Amino acid sequence: MTANDSKCKVLMIYTGGTIGMLPKEEGNPISPLVPAKWERFKDFVPSLRDIPLDIDLHEMTPIDSSDMHPDYWIDIARVIRDNYEDFDGFVILHGTDTMTYTATALSFLLENLDRPVIMTGSQSPISQPRSDAVQNMVTSLILAAGKSFNLPLIPEVCICFNNVILRGNRARKVSSSSYSGFTSPNYPPLGEAGKYIKIDTKVIQKPSTKGFFINENLEKGVMLFDVFPGISPKILDSLFSIDGLKGIVFRTYGAGNAPTNKDFLKEIEKATCERNLMIVNITQCNQGMVEMGLYDASATLLRLGVISGMDMTPEAALVKMMFLFGLGYDIKIVKEQMQKNLRGEQSIDLFNQERKNF
């Protein structure tokens, strides 16, 4: 792969995370690792000088991604908005623990995207001899500046990690130690980056022809909850009584099944009918989708107003709910929109039953 004469501009947004971790006490290698300012670790990436691109840096407040939150997602979106017309693509350096949440959030916050937003990080700090950081970073920069390297445009929010390119709102972190830290269980990779970078144009979103803008409101009164054997109705009652709660992503068994005992179902009915809470049903399985009504154990949930999350990841279901409530929609509209494919986050649009097969 060689660069052409078209020299792209890429903005690299540094948020912290493992990629930029250095010992808290300088000179003490056994000191706990903390997110460092870019100035402290930029010299570990000399190869950046050799990439034929114009690369600018925007440094945000470096944080461990365990401290990531919706306000920070909006701040990232604002940085992209403020620099959108000046750059051909964006690379976000981010911690791995919540990278899929941030990638999903940006896929909803960035409206009418027509250029790449590539998220990456590393499993090992850039200061370590066997770190995966430099390769992930360099590959992401090349993807963000695809036209400079005669690569197809990827006009969506992606995760590039260990030579695999994934749709951000389809990705999941599956390992805390392997360099292959992420996968996309219900959607094919957008591409692979071995000796040559290969992009699968059949599975990429089309660039928008409308004006780019960002959404700046997310509803925080939502949560994730796993159903488990023997769950007490008192727990559900306490859960559904949380002040300010608007919706719950319910992670159930298999194809969307949950207990059928009357006490459990009574609490579900109180939540949806009396408290007007939205409950979205997704599977605890890493792969596959909810098929409500296939078994009696899910048919009753359907009758009680629980809606299907199809094959969305937990991150996608939660953030999509934040996004839709944040737009100010009432619960009826949110329920309708939750069951539509808005950003490539699910395989089926429940209202037209179209499914993409790959």
Catalytic site residues? 18
Edge to edge, the sheet with strand 278-283 lists 222-226, 247-252, 278-283, 307-308
Q: Which two tokens stand for residue 179?
A: 């360099």
Q: Return the exposure string of 227-263: e unless at least 16 CB atoms fall within 10 Å of the residue's CB, then b.
A: beeebebeebeebbeeeebbbbbbbbbbbbbbbeeee
Q: For residues 137 and 289, give the distance between their C-alpha atoms in angstroms, rounded to a whole number.
A: 33
Q: For residues 355 and 358, give the distance between their C-alpha atoms in angstroms, rounded to a whole number.
A: 10
| Three-state DSSP class for residue 169 | helix
C-beta of residue 128 within 8 angstroms of C-beta of residue 42:
no
Q: Which two tokens stand for residue 74?
A: 């909006």
Pairing, β 54-63 against β 9-16: parallel
